[in-house]
């Protein structure tokens, strides 16, 4: 009974700790995206959640760790969505559409994480940068494979699968630079336009 109580309480403790880490990350990504990584002080991040700087230091060992987790998030979510779409039994065309739609959604919903990664990659340690670039490479690789599969089946007409994958990845990433809530266009509109545009990039002229 004693042990069970203890276990229960340590488990909820962990959940609370995870929640706090998450909250810090959320606020930090927002401020880093708006004012830049270097120009944002941890005092400002702390003030936003109505705590003080040492609070942050009890959940993250330094400012760089915060940046690493922010940068990792966007690419991890995107890769997961891509893998999920590839796991579905569907044609390359359908899979590609689903990837653009799902990743587009993730980029819209997590634009702060994405733009921080784009802008602040230079502020990562060499090791962190290497690790995250490997994740990104994985994404490009899987996308390249899909494009090549679609070319073999005759569904896609592309000159160079690897570079096409880069254009498509760039197009998706680009959304984070200009989409903003309450802007001229809705997220849905933009995502559908992205699907349409990617489709035109890969589709044969006469089809």
List residues binding DNA (CB under 7 A).
2, 5-6, 9, 13, 16-17, 20, 39-43, 46, 50-55, 57-58, 62-64
Distance, first Cα to last Cα, the chain:
69
Residue 190 lies near a copy of itself (rule: CB under 8 A): yes
**Which window, 60-68, 70-78, 85-93, 195-203, contacts a copy of itself (CB under 8 A)?**
195-203
Nearer to DNA, 13 or 180 (CB): 13
Name the 3-class secondary structure at 136: helix
Residue 127 lies near a copy of itself (rule: CB under 8 A): no
Q: For the chain, where are the alpha helices, taking DSSP H only? A: 2-35, 42-48, 53-57, 63-87, 92-109, 111-120, 126-152, 161-178, 187-202
CA atoms within 13 A on the CB side of 53: 7
- Tell me which of a copy of itself, DNA, none is bound by residue 203, counting a contact when its beta carbon lies within the kind-specific cut-off of 5 to 8 angstroms: a copy of itself
At its nearest, how many Å lie between a copy of itself and the CB of residue 205? 6
Q: What is the dihedral of CA 121, 127, 133, 139, to 10 degrees?
A: -130
Nearer to DNA, 50 or 88 (CB): 50
Residue 126 lies near a copy of itself (rule: CB under 8 A): no
- Tell me which of DNA, a copy of itself, none is bound by residue 164, counting a contact when its beta carbon lies within the kind-specific cut-off of 5 to 8 angstroms: a copy of itself
Contact 140, 165 (CB under 8 A): yes
Q: How many residues does the chain have?
A: 207
At its nearest, how many Å lie between DNA and the CB of residue 41? 4
The residue within the footprint of a copy of itself, chosen from 78, 111, 173, 191 (CB under 8 A), is 173
Count the site residues for a copy of itself by CB under 8 A.
35
Q: Please give the Cα distance from 168 to 128 (Å, whole number).
A: 25
């Amino acid at each position: 009974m004693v042990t069970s109580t203890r276990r229960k309480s340590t488990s909820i403790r962990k959940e609370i700790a995870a929640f706090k880490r998450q909250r810090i990350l959320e606020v930090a990504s927002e401020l880093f995206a708006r004012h830049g990584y270097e120009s944002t002080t941890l005092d400002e991040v702390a003030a936003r959640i109505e705590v003080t700087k040492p609070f942050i230091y009890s959940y993250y060992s330094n400012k760089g760790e915060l940046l690493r987790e922010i940068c990792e998030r966007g690419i991890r979510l995107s890769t997961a969505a891509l893998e999920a779409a590839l796991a579905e039994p569907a044609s390359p065309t359908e899979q590609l559409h689903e990837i653009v739609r799902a990743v587009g959604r993730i980029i819209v919903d997590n634009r702060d994480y994405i733009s921080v990664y784009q802008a602040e990659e230079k502020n990562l340690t060499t090791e962190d940068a290497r690790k995250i670039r490997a994740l990104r490479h994985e994404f490009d690789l899987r996308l390249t494979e899909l494009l090549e599969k679609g070319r073999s089946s005759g569904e896609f007409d592309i000159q160079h699968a690897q570079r096409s994958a880069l254009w498509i990845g760039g197009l998706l990433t680009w959304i984070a630079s200009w989409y903003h809530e309450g802007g001229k266009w809705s997220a849905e509109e933009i995502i559908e336009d992205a699907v349409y545009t990617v489709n035109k990039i890969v589709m044969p002229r006469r089809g």
